[in-house]
Structure 1
Amino acid sequence: MSEPTGAARRRGPFQVGDQVQLTDPKGRHYTFTLEAGKSFHTHKGAFPHDELIGAPEGSVVRTTGNVAYLALRPLLPDYVLSMPRGAAVVYPKDAGQILAMADIFPGARVVEAGVGSGSLSSFVLRAIGDQGMLHSYERRADFAEIATQNVERYFGGPHPAWQLTVGDLQDNLSDTDVDRVILDMLAPWECLDAVSKALVPGGILCAYVATTTQLARTVEAIREHGTFNEPSAWETMVRTWHVEGLAVRPDHRMIGHTGFLLTSRRLADGVEPPLRRRRPAKGAYGEDYASANREQASAQSGKADESGGEGTEPPATDV
């Protein structure tokens, strides 16, 4: 049985072509690719790559300036933050939330719109494995080229589960029986028809947006579409801590807002989503929303009267 794609590059002694991450005494990272006969140079001296080739991961090398560097393979979160960029990368904290909250599983069939620099694609490909399918769509050819180079550099070559299409998702999506769809784009609400047709019942739509206006419009569009359940929206912030003896305190810097995430699940065909019971604050919706909801509430109240059911409460409205 062959190893999963990229697994051989994640263990064992360092080999030519491996990515190496050096950590200096101040905790700063330097990443480079091992090449026979070459040297790594810093302002603190240099050392030959050959000194690491064949050495176990976790070795310490010293430069000609007698400065010690710890040598390890970069973790995927380290790699995506240091790799060449076309578009901004999806930060590891958000990628981790997407993998967990969108329930990306081995063998999953996933569609991604907005490949950017290939950060999220790398996380998803490692999660679904060689037996899964990731079909990514990217409008810009230059971003697609950078993403391809970054993904192939990490996995050591093309990944068998990845297909990349240059073009708009809503114009080119032909995949069916898709388990998960991830939208990292400016206007995800424009793709809901195409996404709804592609997703299996129970499949998950996950959108990643940067602003509150994008978040609001996406959530409302999902509610109005009628083929998804009530979406959930959130953001994550990461704060590291300084721990040294009795000096235990939060660090002065943190990874704050990068974007909003929301998820929603595809309903079975022909099923209407249950009416929301939560009452929003007065003024949360304009007159268009108020009129539509009054008509909906009146129609449902009339149906309840015709049925003659005792103790049936009229549905809650949004106004």
Structure 2
Amino acid sequence: MVRRGPLQAGEKVQFTDRKGKRITEQLVPGGTVQTERGVLFHDDIIGLPEGSVVTTLTSEGESKSAAEAYRRNPRKPWKTARKIGGWQYTVMRPRLQDFILSMPRGAQIMYPKDIAQVIEVCDIRQGMRVLESGGGSGAMSLHLLDAVGDGGELTTVEMRSEFARVCEANATVYFGARPQWWNLLVGDFDSVAAGLPANHFDRIFLDMLDPWNRLNEAYRVIAPGGVITCYVTTVTQLSRVAEAMRESGRWTEPEITETMERGWKAQGLAVRPNHEMIGHTGFLVTSRAMASGFDALHKRERPTKDVYSDIDDLTAEQQRDRLADLELRDISDRKLRKVLNDLDRQVASIPQDATVANRQEKPAV
């Protein structure tokens, strides 16, 4: 999805000050952004091009004087500004990863570094048919919808209806309307997948507690040669899903990766890594589906230890409790209601005539 031109009402924008602090807000006629250093008025921002610099005010009446001060000394208008007001922000449309990190959440989201790796190792491209299990707050769904485009198809299965609402609302706010190439289904993965056509999907992504128990149904709906990627957070889950793929004979030797992210600072010759980095957040287990009647070729190795896990012995209620322990779906009912109310307000602020099509600009042929 590409948005160009002046900033419009209903869009989300990101304000960044000279210290790198960011604020993400949805533009609403008559709305305001209350910062630590004054107020920004939405009406002054709607219609501006991206990359504009806006200055905080203490009241609406300061607009003219603030603009005049900026014209007199555009490099240092804050030197004579009061403690509140006179602080500058650059306004841009947020990148997708910025949107995701600032959007209301029901379930915990995947980190952008892991999402980017999923798109790469699962080889998700425009026009593909993708099946996703575990919609959560929609972080992965937004990237998949962008990757396959309106010529593709994304089917998302989410077990909890509340999280499905959060996922759908976040996608609606991001695209400006609900994507027409997206099927969002609520229910257990095996039950929902049983109603899907065989060999229909090019790619499958699983983000769930026990992906090894879903491999049979996943194999039925994926096309031969299709790629499956499972996101798990513990080594116990990692071991189970890898061994299940090998034992079934239906999947090629699994590739297992994790991604670390470390930022750097560069000021002249003072170049150094940041003091903090994003370390382990999860593992990606990727494999490909064999054609029916053919067994996968694996290197003959004997496991060095027992790979049994007691997760299969848990009841459905115990598995939901385990999800909270793994911090994959932990949220209180009160917070979830607040998230849904916030998203309902954002969706209601989108212009009624908005569609995904009229917000995408395609080059003339």
TM-score range, shorter chain: 0.7 to 0.9
Matched, 1:52 2:72: no
The separation in 2 between residues aligned to 1:166 and 1:287, in whole angstroms, is 31
The separation in 1 between residues aligned to 2:306 and 2:219, in whole angstroms, is 27
The SS at the match of 2:28 is coil
Q: List per-residue Cα deviations over 1:15-73 (Å, max 9, x = no partner).
A: 11110100012101101111112222212111211111111001000012110101001
> What corresponds to 1:76 in structure 2?
96
2:40 corresponds to which letter in structure 1? F
1:99/1:287 CA distance change after superposition, 3 Å = closer
TM-score (norm 1): 0.84
> What corresponds to 1:154 in structure 2?
174
1:287/1:12 CA distance change after superposition, 3 Å = closer
The separation in 2 between residues aligned to 1:67 and 1:121, in whole angstroms, is 36
Tell me which of 12, 15, 18 is aligned to 2:11. 18
> What corresponds to 2:221 in structure 1?
198
Matched, 1:186 2:206: no
* Structure with max Cα Rg: 1
Tell me which of 94, 117, 137 is aligned to 2:137. 117
Aligned-residue offset at 1:91: 1.3
| Unmatched runs of 5 consecutive residues or more in structure 2 | 58-84, 309-365
2:145 corresponds to which letter in structure 1? L
> What corresponds to 2:242 in structure 1?
219
Aligned-residue offset at 1:285: 3.5
The aligned runs of 1:130-279 (5 Å cut-off) are 130-173=150-193, 174-176=196-198, 177-277=200-300, 279=301
Identical amino acids, percent of aligned pairs: 46
1:182/1:254 CA distance change after superposition, 3 Å = same
1:206 corresponds to which letter in structure 2? T
The SS at the match of 1:13 is coil
Cα RMSD after superposing both structures = 1.5
> What corresponds to 1:33 in structure 2?
26
Verify the 8 A CA contact 2:131 2:156 in the aligned structure 1: yes
The SS at the match of 1:254 is strand
The separation in 2 between residues aligned to 1:38 and 1:233, in whole angstroms, is 47
Query: Once superposed, which parts of structure 1, at least 4 consecutive aligned residues long, lie more than 4 Å away?
Result: none
Aligned-residue offset at 1:184: 0.2
The SS at the match of 1:253 is strand
| Unmatched runs of 5 consecutive residues or more in structure 1 | 1-5, 289-319
The separation in 2 between residues aligned to 1:189 and 1:12, in whole angstroms, is 47
1:275/1:241 CA distance change after superposition, 3 Å = closer
Q: List per-residue Cα deviations over 1:259-280 (Å, max 9, x = no partner).
A: 0001000011100112414x46
The separation in 2 between residues aligned to 1:39 and 1:265, in whole angstroms, is 50
The aligned runs of 1:273-292 (5 Å cut-off) are 273-277=296-300, 279=301, 284-286=304-306
TM-score (norm 2): 0.74
